[in-house]
Amino acid sequence: MSQRPIYLDCHATTPMDKRVLEAMLPYFTEHFGNPSSINHFYGWEAEVAVKKARETIANAINCSTEEMIFTSGATEANNLAIKGIAEAYFTKGKHIITVKTEHRAILDPCQYLETLGFEITYLPVQKDGLIDLELLEKTIIPETILVSVMAANNEIGVLQPLKEIGEICQKNDVLFHSDAAQAFGKIPLDVQAMNLHLLSLTAHKVYGPKGIGALYIRRRDPRVNIAPQLHGGGQEKGIRSGTLYTPQIVGFAKAIELALAEIKTENKRQKELRNRLQKQILDIEGVHLNGHPTKRLPGNINISIEGVDGAALLLGLQSIVALSSGSACTSKTTKPSHVLKALGHSDKLAYSSLRFGLGRFTNIEEIDQVSQQVINTIQSLRKAAIKT
């Protein structure tokens, strides 16, 4: 391949910002110490770097540094939140509420807990992908210990009303967790204002390194207890054992520092590009936007196309643009998107979907090139279908 395809799959992952890499490099070589080695200089300088990074990430969501636990990513953070709460609070109740459109890193742990006798309620979504707040409140029972609702959907980009959900949970004395892997650094997140008790974060969706994430765990009003899922050296207050990966943590902090510094201008720029691409593609007959038209991530477009085979569509586009038809984590499966099915789509329409994830390095020339290629491919496939 002489020229690399245009990258529009930023919900799967983002390219690391060179400024992030620059911040990380010294901690692979010069400052290589273990932050738990507190008896010598090398450990001290690593400990200082981790402490500073923890402050940066904690400040980004308005929590204390003591409430920030580093993990290997959002999947581990979600598992720690779901299974850790279930194990710590099962004497109070064994009922958990989540949503049908959640990431598999929430749904799979919940399904595992069902095998242990927990009752899980999977809330439906409305046609725009938003949950019904009245239904959520009606679903809470005395045995409910946790509500888990993602901040921004990884496929259709829909933003759930976290503040309102938090108020319902607070009123009913139920813990509230949110998977914010896609939202962190793209929308404002405030765990106090949103009444969040647990929040899962990751770095690689915001131009940071892969393999590092975090879980916010509230320590007061109320203090949240959580059962560790990894045991060993007692790092992270015993909640998550394992040697802290200093370069990754430094990179995580630098990534979110840059994202928040540029959030207003970057969101405005991405929305303009998104709307340009969306307008051109939605002009085609039989192309439908999935999810709420405005309450979604600034760089997200998810469409379904009538009369087109999804596999053929991706094949026809892959030399020009890198994108997906759903979650990257489940792209190897042959099942239609569970998110689009939850919106009421048929298997056929769900299969013929495309997810565009615009990002920091996307430009207007790329948008115009991609939109024309998508239009040409759709028209070509439809003509071929008519002939056969």
Q: Which positions are catalytic?
A: 329
Angle at 150 between CA 148 and CA 154, to 5 degrees: 145
3-state secondary structure (DSSP) of residue 315? helix
Amino acid identity of residue 69, one-letter, is I
Helix (H) or strand (E) holding 176: strand 175-179
Cα–Cα distance measured from residue 85 to residue 82, given in angstroms and rounded to the nearest whole number: 6
Torsion from C-alpha of 182, 187, 193, 195, nearest 10 degrees:
-10
Pull the structure tokens for residue 67.
Answer: 């409430």
> Which residues are CB-contacts of 77 (< 8 A; sequence separation ≥ 6)?
71, 179, 200, 201, 202, 213, 214, 215
Find residue 70's DSSP bridge partners: 214
Rounded to 10 deg, the angle between the 263-282 and 246-261 helix axes is 70
3-state secondary structure (DSSP) of residue 381? helix
Query: Within a 10 A sphere around the Cβ of 49, how many other Cβ atoms?
Result: 22
Cα–Cα distance measured from residue 143 to residue 302, given in angstroms and rounded to the nearest whole number: 37
Q: Determine contact, residues 46/359, Cβ cutoff 8 Å.
A: no
Q: Determine contact, residues 193/65, Cβ cutoff 8 Å.
A: no
Chain-centre distance of CA 157, in angstroms?
Answer: 9
Cα–Cα distance measured from residue 58 to residue 68, given in angstroms and rounded to the nearest whole number: 6
> Which residues are CB-contacts of 15 (< 8 A; sequence separation ≥ 6)?
7, 207, 359, 361
Q: Determine contact, residues 302/353, Cβ cutoff 8 Å.
A: yes
Radius of gyration of the CA atoms of the chain, in A = 22
Q: By C-alpha distance, which of 285, 290, 214, 195 is closest to 252?
A: 214
Query: Within a 10 A sphere around the Cβ of 78, how many other Cβ atoms?
Result: 31
